[in-house]
Structure 1
Amino acid sequence: MDNEIKSMYDNQVWNLVDNVPGQKTVGCKWIFKKKTDMDGKVHTFKARLVAKGFTQTLGIDYDETFSPVAKIKSIRIMLAIAAFHDYEIWQMDVKTAFLNEKLTEDVYMNQPEGFVDAKYPDKVCKLEKSIYGLKQASHSWNLCFHEKVKEFGFSRSEDESCVYVKASGSIVTFLVLYVDDILLMGNDVPTLQDVKSWLRKCFAMKDLGEAAYILGIRILRDMKKRLI
């Protein structure tokens, strides 16, 4: 919980403001999860602060909510292509993905349980960034990510909104996004390293090395036989 609150402060997610009478506020709650590895062993105890987005009102504190994610079949096809062409397959994870984009709407949230400011207990949090649970959070994150990878030269696939490609001569790089999970595939290691460095500049990232487990799929690879 301390780590989660620290990430909120580091990302300047909210400012404390006076609670004006009649002003709509959104509640929040803590959610606790055990994150497991591919063998089902717990490796992280995760606490996440989530807004009660179900209390939001369309046209008042949110508008657009749609956000695409890569289809499982698209991920399987990309893995097959990478295996056939002997591409590298790397994996990264975006930490606190939804905290990266500024909100365009005015959203006010109650102070989180256990972390109410002792000096200003009656104030509320005016959200400056998206937070998990908000109806527009995923939409805002997707727009933010799209703009950043576009700056680096990636183009979005016409057939799959969360698959990106960058080609320069014989060097080809693919990027597949599933919410905050990223697969990087390509035939040039220095280029892939450049992509990783760029992503680290833009977001707080976790480098997971060679892809081994994503969305419940365990990845086993025989590079000599080009099988996956």
Structure 2
Amino acid sequence: MQLQALESNKTWTLTSLLTSKTPIGCKWVYKIKRYSDGSIERYKACLMAKGYTQIEGIDYHDTFSPTAKIIIAHCLLALTAAQNWSFHQLDVHNAFLHSDLHEEIYMTPPPGLWRQGENIICHLNKSLYGLRQASRQWFAKFSEVIQAVGYVQSRAYYSLFTCKQRKSFTALLIYVDILITGNDVAVINCLKQFLNTRFKIKDLEFFLGIEVSRSKKGICISQRKYTLDILKDGGVLGAQPISFPMEQNTKLASDTRELLKDPSKYRRLVGR
């Protein structure tokens, strides 16, 4: 299925290997996508290019891409709660695959792709996850599309786009996921429909690992699931909490106790 999606997106063109070009490698990465309650949503396979083998100046040039700071997301959430605006979190399906490449990059065929000959390789037309310039090209593609419909890029925070039409105001913040808020639900729904025609999108429960829930009292943000995932990965999910951050009944050395009683001794000790 994933190979069919890559081929239908015209991610690459099969061609003969040129002796002057060195193709980069690739590999499949498998991941289990889960819902907020931990149940399995789907099994995902992602083709990753081995970008660490790219050569600067040949396979890529600039790699910087603007990144949304979490403080900007907090400001949008605060504005949304204060003004009682509509709020949406979106995910772009295979975001990097929508990006165009300007460099001439060749890649070895991914495992599972039927080959027509030993010297057949993939000439990349679209960006792939793992390429050095992937995030930059995705941001450039999205910026071009969103500005073509009247959105203005902020000069202070390049990942923030706004649109004002009469009494309507809409703000859009892009990372890989997208935050949208504004005072006109109809305009936001039209924007979502437009984005879905250019990129396949879906609504999210999380943004940057933050769960956003809304009630009559306002907006609450939580990283409960993110914290539980960290504890699970560390193997301490079932550990009992303690109120003291170090081992209890530990006897400190005599010189350490003296330093704790008189901090001036510590300052003299370190020469301050």
TM-score by length of 2: 0.77
Code of the aligned partner of 2:13:
N
Is the 8 Å Cα contact of residues 90 and 178 (structure 2) preserved in structure 1?
A: yes
**Does 1:203 find its partner at 2:199?**
yes
The residue correspondences of 1:6-85 to structure 2 (distance < 5 A) are 6-85=4-83
Is the 8 Å Cα contact of residues 38 and 216 (structure 1) preserved in structure 2?
A: no
Residue 154 of structure 1 corresponds to 151
Code of the aligned partner of 1:218:
E
Q: 1:227: how far off? A: 4.1
The residue correspondences of 1:1-228 to structure 2 (distance < 5 A) are 2=1, 4-117=2-115, 119-179=116-176, 181-206=177-202, 208=203, 212-222=205-215, 224-228=216-220
Give a deviation string over 1:140-159, Cα, whole Å, max 9, x none. 11000001000111111222
Runs of 4+ in 1 over 2 A off after TM superposition: 36-42, 119-122, 224-228
Q: Structure 1: where are the runs of 5+ without partners?
A: none
Give a deviation string over 1:108-150, Cα, whole Å, max 9, x none. 0000012132x23430000011111110111111000001000
Is the 8 Å Cα contact of residues 84 and 227 (structure 1) preserved in structure 2?
A: no
Code of the aligned partner of 1:212:
E
Is the 8 Å Cα contact of residues 68 and 162 (structure 1) preserved in structure 2?
A: yes
In structure 2, C-alpha distance between the alignment counterparts of 1:134 and 1:227, rounded to whole Å: 37
Is the 8 Å Cα contact of residues 37 and 43 (structure 1) preserved in structure 2?
A: yes
CA RMSD of aligned residues (A): 1.4
Q: 1:40: how far off? A: 3.0
Code of the aligned partner of 1:186:
G
Q: 1:90: how far off? A: 1.2
Is the 8 Å Cα contact of residues 65 and 138 (structure 1) preserved in structure 2?
A: yes
In structure 1, C-alpha distance between the alignment counterparts of 2:209 and 2:53, rounded to whole Å: 32
In structure 1, C-alpha distance between the alignment counterparts of 2:112 and 2:8, rounded to whole Å: 18
In structure 2, C-alpha distance between the alignment counterparts of 1:105 and 1:153, rounded to whole Å: 29
Partner SS state of residue 104, structure 1: coil
Q: 1:225: how far off? A: 2.8
Q: Which has the higher contact order (CA 8 A, sep 6+)?
A: 1
Please identify the structure whose Cα radius of gyration is greater. 2
Partner SS state of residue 219, structure 1: strand
Q: 1:213: how far off? A: 2.1
In structure 1, C-alpha distance between the alignment counterparts of 2:219 and 2:55, rounded to whole Å: 50
Q: Structure 2: where are the runs of 5+ without partners?
A: 221-272
In structure 1, C-alpha distance between the alignment counterparts of 2:108 and 2:205, rounded to whole Å: 40
TM-score by length of 1: 0.91
Larger proportion of strand: 1
Is the 8 Å Cα contact of residues 30 and 47 (structure 1) preserved in structure 2?
A: yes
Code of the aligned partner of 1:174:
A
Q: 1:89: how far off? A: 0.5
In structure 2, C-alpha distance between the alignment counterparts of 1:39 and 1:80, rounded to whole Å: 26
Query: Percent identity at matched positions?
Result: 37
Q: 1:168: how far off? A: 1.2
Is the 8 Å Cα contact of residues 212 and 219 (structure 2) preserved in structure 1?
A: no
